[in-house]
Structure 1
Amino acid sequence: MKKGILLVNLGSPDSPEPKDVKKYLGEFLMDERVIDIPLVARTALVKGIILNTRPKQSAAAYKKIWWDEGSPLIVLSERLQNKVQEQVDVPVALAMRYGSMTIKKGLQGLVDKGVDEVLLFPLYPQFAMATTETITVLAEELRQQYFPNLKIDSVPAFYNKPDYIEVLANSIKKHLKGKNYEHVLFSYHGVPERHIRKSDITKSHCKIDKSCCITPSKAHEFCYKHQCLEVTRLVAEKLKFKDDSFSTSFQSRLGFDPWLQPYTDRTIERLGKQGVKNMAIVTPAFVSDCLETLEEIAMEGQEIFHEMGGQDFTTVPCLNDDSEWVALIAKWIKEWEASKKATV
């Protein structure tokens, strides 16, 4: 069987214009694993309210971070794809869960090259309904409908793999070198608390309290909050951070339902009020810089910190196309290839 790789990231509007942002947000927010309420209610919320107000606001935010080459997320993902391709012998394609670079197009491109066995690689370190799961579910639906002879394997969450933690820690260390910081905040994209409970395969472990994430359980295989906290713990341990010099928070909440806490904006505000003058912020839920890191964190977060009396606000870039990250992905691909040969 001829093998191929499909890297999959979140996606982006085709342009920062309101009409393209509206189209993108419509597809994104109508996903039942993003806003997981009944279709009628979801349609009323998204098409009746959000899409009548949010596109103009989001378009303004996208315009602040848009590059001459296009969407930063797309450009950085393409750079990653090209660099990984240079280090492996199998075809490497790129797709987005939402937007015009569809997973169907990505799979079709590989099939057109003769590929009949694909390693689906969601570019998310942690598992979540709204990221990894929606990608794998859609890929399987597409396989059944359009590519019945295609075999698809998926890369599971890699949040606690020692080689990933080493690459992430090295990147953070490199970007903080020479910086005078008092506190490092690990900010992860938030999800509604109900997503955590829905993903609990034990149906009883996840209480969204201070104990369940550190109490061993099979639920942790699909627990986003546990996996985020583990990344923070493992990186802090690797970099020998003192206990009071780092913390974890969650950003980008939507609506009025309870989301994972503490919230990033309020944490930044609290740190400033407590007299922290120099802080750094890391966003390990993303491997590519995007609207949430470049605008919400690097711009809005910095503004909040300065308003609260803070001075130096350092944003650590995502892994993007970092050479160690590229090499690690290539290594995992080669290991997958070798495992397939071993089972023949």
Structure 2
Amino acid sequence: MHKKGIVLMNLGSPDSTAVKDVRRYLNEFLMDERVIDIPKLLRFLLVRGIISPFRAPKSAKAYKSIWWEEGSPLIVLTQQLQAALQHAVTAPVTIAMRYGNPHPKKAYDELLAKVPELEEVIVVPLYPHYAMSSYETAVEYAKEIHAQENYAFKLTILPPYYKHESYLDALASSIQPYLNEEYDHILFSYHGVPERHIRKGDTTGCHCLKVDNCCEVDSPAHAQCYRHQCVTTTHLVAGMLGIPKEKYSFSFQSRLGQDEWLKPYTAKRLEEMPKEGIKKLLVACPAFVSDCLETLEEIAEEGKEEFIHAGGESFTMIPCLNVHPKWVEAIVDMVEEAV
């Protein structure tokens, strides 16, 4: 690892729970063409004129409900992961966010300050699965800043690791303790994306959402298919944990707008499950490696309320990998493979 550095790249967070900071964050996030993939003028009118003004106050309230004394949970947990990884490797480790702070340029400059003769930076996208609105936009942004600043060091990007043995082992290890309690079902809830994103990312142009059981039928499209990768992670981890097929399922959360998104929807399943006899539920969120608004508020608070209101008896959200020792080991393994 001589003359190398590591950047852990996560999604990002508002600087505070103030409405103005949340609005600024939402504007940057939703104006990303890989998040809302419509013409720029229409996107500007939609985001600045409709979504942000109405969503910012609501989102600010949601952030306040999960904000820690140290700051944003996602930022704090990423910093903790940075510290834990730094204990395990000799190369300097820093963090960057796709939206908000810290900016990738700051991360690159910090590494250069520590290693003036820096030759290579390994970027670790904290997204296990490939999606244009998460992994792809983070990677392309890291590359864009690298090119803009004309840095001399080489940039190496970790590929999606949704089925990497070390990642799966870490995920299974983080879930295992919760299987010791009595439960009826475990739901793997992933962040949702519009179905058009899946079709747009289909490198074959004729497979994703067009072939029966498309996620189970081998295709080159799977290299960039978010749904296939989520399904794969679910089945592999469930198999490692010995969870019977009838006791687990997957769904997709965080839908925005009226377009068709990946199904089944988490919110709908939480309402239906008690009527199906599922009264004691565990929920894991493998698309996120750090707990954030989408896990701490949308699942642990809103999701639990929906499930209990529908007749459920117990609801447990399993924390994300965060700083789990096996997760730190997994990153070390993947970085060593990359170099």
TM range (shorter): over 0.9
Aligned letter for 1:80? L
Asked if the contact 1:193/1:208 (under 8 Å) is kept, the reply is no
Alignment of 1:46 onto 2:52: no
Using the alignment, how far apart are the partners of 2:230 and 2:332 within structure 1?
24
Q: Deviations over 1:177-202 (max 9, x none)?
A: 2x110010000000001111111111
Kindly state the Cα deviation for residue 108 of structure 1 after the two structures are TM-superposed. Answer: 1.8
Alignment-derived partner of residue 329 in structure 1: 331
Question: Is the partner of 1:212 in helix, strand or coil?
Answer: coil
Given that 1:12 and 1:74 are in contact with CA atoms closer than 8 Å, whether structure 2 keeps it comes out as yes
Aligned length: 336
Instruction: Name 1:218's counterpart in structure 2.
Output: 220
Structure 1 stretches of 4+ with a deviation exceeding 3 A read: none
Q: 1:215-294 alignment to 2 at 5 Å?
A: 215-294=217-296
Q: Is the partner of 2:137 in helix, strand or coil?
A: helix
Q: 1:135-181 CA distances to partner (integer Å, 9 max, x unpaired)?
A: 1111221121103412101000000112211111111012332x110
The offset of 1:335, in angstroms, is 3.2
Gaps of 5+ in 2: none
Matches within 5 A, 1:146-185: 146-177=149-180, 179-185=181-187
Match runs of 1:10-89 below 5 Å: 10-89=11-90
| Deviation by residue 1:192-240 (Cα, 9 ceiling, x = unmatched) | 0111111111111112665111000110010000000001100111111
- CA distance 1:209–1:269, shift in 2 (3 Å): farther
Structure 2 distance, partners of 1:209, 1:251, is: 24
Per-residue Cα deviation, 1:232-266 (whole angstroms, up to 9, x for no partner) = 10011111111111101000010111100000000
Q: Distance in 2 between matches of 1:231 and 1:215?
A: 16
User: How many Å separate the matches in 2 of 1:65 and 1:87?
Assistant: 30
Which one is further off, 141-150 or 11-20? 141-150
- Sequence identity (%): 51
Q: Secondary structure at the match of 2:215?
A: helix
Q: Is the 8 A contact 2:166 2:333 kept in 1?
A: no
Distance 1:98 1:176 in 2: 35
The unaligned stretches of length 5 or more in structure 1 are 338-344
Q: Which amino acid aligns with 2:16?
A: S
Instruction: Give the whole-Å Cα distance in 2 for the aligned partners of 1:331 and 1:207.
Output: 34
- The match for 1:103 is 104
The alignment's TM-score, normalised by the length of structure 2, stands at: 0.97
Q: Deviations over 1:286-321 (max 9, x none)?
A: 000000000000000100111111011011000000
